Amino acid sequence: MPAPERIWTAALIVIGDEILSGRTQDKNVAQIASWLNVQGIRLREVRVVADESDAIVEAVNSLRTGNDYLFTTGGIGPTHDDITVDAIARALEVEVEIHPEARAMLSGYYETRGGLTEARLRMARVPAGSSLIENRMSGAPGIRHGNIFIMAGVPHITAGMLDSLTGTLEGGLPVLSAQIGCWVAESEIADLLGATERAHAQCQIGSYPFFREGKTGANFVIRSTDAAALDRCVAALSAALEQGGWPVVAGGI
C-alpha cells in the first residue's frame, strides 16, 4: 500500500470593510481557490475580517500555523485604511521597513506619473524579512513573508500576482473533479448518493440543488485525487441514476 498522500493546505484572509458591509461582492475567494487547486493545494478555511488591526492580527495568528500557506487580500494600497502590512508585522512581532527593491519599482512606475510621494512610498513598506511578489498590473508589489502571501484586494491585480506565483509553491496532487446533472429533487436520490460515496472511498460527492424554469434539478460534483477512482465513481453514479429513471447530463446542467 502506498504511503498516504501528503495534503497541502492554505487559508485565506480577506481584509476589507467593503466585503463585510455588502458593498463589494468578493471575487478573490473563488479566484484563489481555483488557482490553489491547480497548484495541488487545498483551501481549507477563509476568514473575512474588517480593516481593524486587532481582527487582522488574531486571524493571522490563528491561521498561519496549521496550514502550509496563508494568503491575505486587501489593504495594501496607499491610503489611511490600508493597514494590512502594519497588522501582519504586529502579528509576526517584526518591524515594518521600506523594501529597497519595492522602492525602486515604485520610483520607476511613478517617474512619469507625478513622482514617488510619501503616500506612494507607503506601498514599499513590508514586514521586515519579506520578499516581493511581482505585480504586472500596477506599481505596488505583493509581499511574501515566510508562508504568508500578502496580495492586493482588486481582483485583476491579485490575478496578476497569482500568475507570477504559479508553479513556485510546493503542493500535492491536485483534486480532480467531474460534474454530472439530473432533473431530480435531491431528496429523491439522497440514499443513492450516500451509498455511492460510501462504495468509493477515494471520492467525495457534493450535491448542489437548483430551481430553474420552474423545475427542480441538482448537479453532482465528484472529487478525487485519483483519476481512475474518479472515473469509476462517475460511471457508478451515472448508472445508478439512469437505472432509477433519471437521465444524466454529462458535465452538469
**Could you tell me the smallest distance in angstroms from the CB atom of residue 129 to its own copies?**
25
- By CB under 8 A, name the one of 94, 96, 132, 154 that touches its own copies: 154
CB of 135 to its own copies, least distance (A): 12
Site for its own copies in 73-102 (CB under 8 A): 77-81
Q: Which of 23, 65, 213, 214 binds its own copies (CB under 8 A)?
A: 23
What's the CA dihedral at 100, 105, 106, 108 to 10 degrees? 120
* Inter-residue contact 63 to 11 (CB < 8 Å): yes
Q: Find the shortest distance in angstroms from Cβ 119 to its own copies.
A: 3
- x/- mask, its own copies, residues 36-55, rule CB under 8 A, reads xx----xxxxxxxxxx---x
Among 61, 165, 223, 225, binds its own copies (CB under 8 A): 223
Are 36 and 10 contacting, i.e. CB atoms less than 8 angstroms apart? yes
Name which of residues 99 to 138 contact its own copies (CB under 8 A): 110, 113-114, 117-120, 122-123, 137-138
The secondary element (H helix, E strand) that includes residue 45 is strand 41-49
Compute the residue count for the chain: 253
3-state SS track over 51-99: CCHHHHHHHHHHHCCCCCEEEEECCCCCCCCCCHHHHHHHHHCCCEEEC
Which C-beta is closer to its own copies: that of 77 or that of 127?
Answer: 77
